[in-house]
Amino acid sequence: MAITRRKKLIPFPSPDASDKSYEALIRLWVLRLLVPLGGSRELIVSYGYQHDHLANYLGLPSVDGNFEMKPAMAELRKKHDQAERRRSLNEIPAVLAKNIERYSELLGWNDVDKAVIAFAVLMETDPRLEVACSTIENVATARLIDVLSGVLGFDRDLIRHSVSPKGSLSESCFIKIDPSVTRSLATKISMLSDETSDRLRYFDGDPFELLRDIVAPAAKAELTLGDFSHVQDTLDVLHPYLDRSLENQNGGVNVFIHGAPGTGKTQLALALARELGCDLFEISSQNESGDGINGYGRLRALRAAQSMLRQRRAMILFDEAEDVFDGRCTHLREKGSARSQKAWMNRLLETNPAPVIWLSNNVECMDPAFLRRFDVVLEMPLPRGRQRERLLDEACGDLINATTRNRLVEARGLAPAVVQRAARVVRTIQDVLPAKRTSAILEQLIESTLEAQGHGGLTTGEAAALPSSYDPRHIAADVDLAQVSAGIVRARTGRICLYGPPGTGKTAFGRWLATRLDVPLHAKRVSDIVSPYVGQTERNLARVFRDAEADGAVLLLDEVDSFLQDRTRAQRSWEVTAVNEMLTQMEAYDGVFIASTNLMDGLDQAALRRFDLKVKFGYLRPAQAWDLFEVHCESLGLAAPDASARAAVERLATLTPGDFTAVARQHRFRPVGSISALIAALEAECSIKKDSRKAVGFI
Which residues, including other chains, have CB under 8 Å from residue 452's CB and lie 6 or more apart? none
pLDDT above 70 (res 8): no
Q: Would you say 562 and 602 are in contact if contact means Cβ atoms under 8 Å apart?
A: no
Which residues, including other chains, have CB under 8 Å from residue 686's CB and lie 6 or more apart? 652, 653, 654, 655, 659, 692
Residue with more model confidence, 510 or 181: 510
Residue 369's nearest CA partner among 418, 326, 405, 308 is: 326
The amino acid occupying position 254 is: N
Most confident residue range from 360-364, 565-569, 587-591, 617-621: 617-621
pLDDT above 50 (res 97): yes
The amino acid occupying position 463 is: A
Residue 382's nearest CA partner among 314, 455, 328 is: 455
Residue with more model confidence, 203 or 536: 203
Q: Which 3 state secondary structure label does DSSP give 122?
A: helix
Q: Would you say 641 and 629 are in contact if contact means Cβ atoms under 8 Å apart?
A: yes
DSSP class of residue 292 equals: B
In the sheet with 356-360, reading across from the earlier edge strand, the strands are 215-217, 279-283, 314-318, 356-360, 254-258, 376-379
Which pLDDT band, with edges at 50, 70 and 90, does 30 fall under?
very high
pLDDT above 90 (res 144): yes
Which pLDDT band, with edges at 50, 70 and 90, does 89 fall under?
low
Determine the pLDDT at residue 11.
Answer: 46
Q: Are strands 613-618 and 356-360 parallel, antiparallel or unpaired?
A: unpaired
Which pLDDT band, with edges at 50, 70 and 90, does 376 fall under?
very high
pLDDT above 70 (res 395): yes
CA distance 400 to 406: 10
Most confident residue range from 12-26, 267-281, 289-303, 532-546: 267-281
Which pLDDT band, with edges at 50, 70 and 90, does 343 fall under?
confident
Residue with more model confidence, 25 or 576: 25
Determine the pLDDT at residue 290.
Answer: 67
Which pLDDT band, with edges at 50, 70 and 90, does 696 fall under?
very low
Burial of 538 (0-12, 13-18, 19+ CB in 10 A): buried
Q: Which residues pair with 139 in a beta bridge?
A: 183
CA distance 601 to 561: 9
Q: Would you say 270 and 368 are in contact if contact means Cβ atoms under 8 Å apart?
A: no
Determine the pLDDT at residue 598.
Answer: 83
Calculate mean pLDDT across residues 30-34: 96
Which pLDDT band, with edges at 50, 70 and 90, does 572 fall under?
low
Q: Are strands 314-318 and 476-477 parallel, antiparallel or unpaired?
A: unpaired
Determine the pLDDT at residue 364.
Answer: 77
CA distance 246 to 250: 7
Determine the pLDDT at residue 568.
Answer: 56
Determine the pLDDT at residue 401.
Answer: 86
Percent of residues, the chain, with pLDDT higher than 70:
89
Q: Would you say 318 and 353 are in contact if contact means Cβ atoms under 8 Å apart?
A: no
Provide the 10 A C-beta neighbour count for residue 388: 22
Which pLDDT band, with edges at 50, 70 and 90, does 357 fall under?
very high
Burial of 278 (0-12, 13-18, 19+ CB in 10 A): middle
pLDDT above 50 (res 269): yes
CA count, 13 A, side-chain hemisphere, 673: 3
Determine the pLDDT at residue 523.
Answer: 84
Across 11-25, 374-388, 468-482, 601-615, least confident range: 11-25
Determine the pLDDT at residue 293.
Answer: 81
Predicted confidence (pLDDT) per residue in 446-464, tens digit: 888 888 877 765 653 334 5
- pTM exceeds 0.85 for this model: no
How much is the mean pLDDT over the chain?
84
Calculate mean pLDDT across residues 281-307: 83
pLDDT above 50 (res 15): no
Determine the pLDDT at residue 469.
Answer: 67
Provide the 10 A C-beta neighbour count for residue 363: 18
Percent of residues, the chain, with pLDDT higher than 90:
39
Which pLDDT band, with edges at 50, 70 and 90, does 88 fall under?
low
Q: Which residues pair with 282 in a beta bridge?
A: 216, 317
CA distance 429 to 199: 42
How many residues are present in the chain?
699
CA distance 579 to 611: 14
Determine the pLDDT at residue 335.
Answer: 45
